[in-house]
Amino acid sequence: MTQERLVRSRSNKWIAGICGGIATYFGWDADLLRLVWLVLTVGTVFCGGIVYLILWLIMPQE
């Protein structure tokens, strides 16, 4: 049985591939996830940016 891992995407990325990797893992649309991430980041005084940096450090690359 093949277990899919949560990894940063190399092919579907704008900055580090975090949103592309999460979208691929859950089967979501990456552009929609990026839009939601942007709205939540701006709406929460850029807490999403801090989370993005942390994920960039801990998520392995594809």
Tell me which amino acid residue 53 is. L
| Cβ-Cβ contacts under 8 Å for 40 (sequence gap 6 or more) | 48
The b-or-e profile of 24-39 (16+ CB within 10 A means b, else e) is beeeeebeebbeebee
| Single pTM value for the model | 0.85
pLDDT in tens, 5-54: 899 999 999 999 999 999 999 999 999 999 999 999 999 888 889 999 99
Which residues, other chains included, contact 28 with Cβ-Cβ below 8 Å and sequence gap of 6+? Answer: 22
